[in-house]
Structure 1
Amino acid sequence: MTSTALTDDMALRIGLAARALPDTSPARLLAVLADCIGLPPNAEKLDTLSIKQLRSGASGELADCDHSVLKTALAYLNGTASTESMPPPVPQSPLINASGSDPEGTIRVAIASNNGDLLDGHFGSCERFLVYQVSADQFRLIDCREIDDRQAEDDKNSYRAGLIADCQLLYVVSIGGPAAAKVVKRDIHPIKIPDGGAAPALIGELQQIIGAKTPPWLAKIMGQPAESRVRFKARALEE
């Protein structure tokens, strides 16, 4: 009789891959792998696994997952992604004005993250949200909000959206339609960046469009008056 026991390395790979997938436990992922490559999974079998197989395994258990999310999970499974978790960076105190609120011209941006200062998380499965305070000339990390879905009761998406209710933008690798609706309901604008990246670099790119040529959609989020947004739009058309 062939043993189906997992080695420690295989258990770690499967656990990390499951964490990268929305609403997927290691047991559910193991059922997909059983259908795709048979049990027990090992390095040789996982080297042959494809994203197409992951989508179709176990009657399409992962069929609705974004390609980028499945790519990340596959990297954990075949051992090409690092299994060492990086701690989050240390936040600074937020900038505040005399009234105790954020200074004019700043917004708060939440980053779905699992490791260090990376944008590498799906909204429904990331471990934390990094919250940055951003203006045209500076930015700072002001909070690292750890996520405990056990507090979510019956609605994980609402719980997660509530953790970033003070933010205006949300950067994620991926987010599903129902989750996006819960985020938008709280006046948070979700932005998908499937390839992820270092949060400071992405925030730096955002700063470049916050200045004098702020797009109307972002100007509205930042609370700029409608008259200013109309003037900007007219200037953009003239250019």
Structure 2
Amino acid sequence: MGPDQASYLETLTVREAGGDEEDRIAARADLLSECAVVYTMQIGGPAAAKLIARRIHPLKTNVEVSLRDSVERLQEVLRGNPPPWLRKAMNKDKAGSFLDED
């Protein structure tokens, strides 16, 4: 797999968990634990902090962006020189990923 390929893995469904906001944020962060990057239209400080603590990088778009456009933009960045945070995020659970190959 490389920056010129993309494939659907799964759809995650967020269910309401717990009675307070902290429980809901933790449940969502747990659900996304295998992600390296999460695109979102909006995210609050506590939710962003939970994701970052789990080494998940939230990317706030402020507007609705199609999945296709999001993937294409990410692939463009990966084909060039990805910023250090993205290299680290993409390698968080993978030894010898395509980003390490030259």
TM-score range, shorter chain: 0.7 to 0.9
State how far apart, in whole Å, the 2-side matches of 1:194 and 1:212 are: 24
- Letter of the 2:71 counterpart: I
Aligned to 2:48: 180
CA distance in 2, matches of 1:202, 1:210: 12
Q: Which amino acid aligns with 1:189?
A: H
Q: Determine which of 204, 213, 216 is the counterpart of 2:84.
A: 216
Please state whether the residue corresponding to 2:79 is helix, strand or coil.
coil
Question: Which of 196, 199, 208 in structure 1 is aligned with 2:64?
Answer: 196
Aligned to 2:4: 137
5+ residue gaps in structure 2? none
SS, match of residue 218 in structure 1: helix
3-state DSSP class of the match of 1:171?
A: strand
Structure 1 residue 195, shift from structure 2 partner: 1.0
What is the CA-CA distance between 1:164 and the residue it aligns to? 0.9
Partner of 1:159: 27
| Partner Cα separation in structure 1 for residue 31 and residue 89 of structure 2 | 18
* TM-score (structure 2 length as normaliser): 0.79
**Structure 2 matches for 1:110-129, cutoff 5 A?**
none
Matched-pair identity in %:
34
Question: Hey, what's the Cα distance between the residues in 1 that align with 2:81 and 2:49?
Answer: 28
Separation in 2 of the partners of 1:220 and 1:212? 15
> Radius of gyration: which is bigger?
1
The answer as to 2:5 corresponding to 1:148 is no
CA gap 1:210/1:146 in 2 versus in 1, 3 angstroms = same
Segments of 5+ residues of structure 1 without an aligned counterpart are 1-102, 104-134, 230-239
| Deviation digits for residues 168-209 of structure 1 (CA, Å, limit 9, x no counterpart) | 001000000011111111110000001121111111110011
* One-letter amino acid of the structure 1 residue matched with residue 30 of structure 2: G
Q: CA RMSD in A?
A: 2.1
- Counterpart residue number, 1:59: none
User: Aligned residue pairs: how many?
Assistant: 92
Q: Does 1 or 2 have the higher relative contact order (CA < 8 Å, sep 6+)?
A: 2
TM-score by length of 1: 0.36
Matched with 1:70 is none
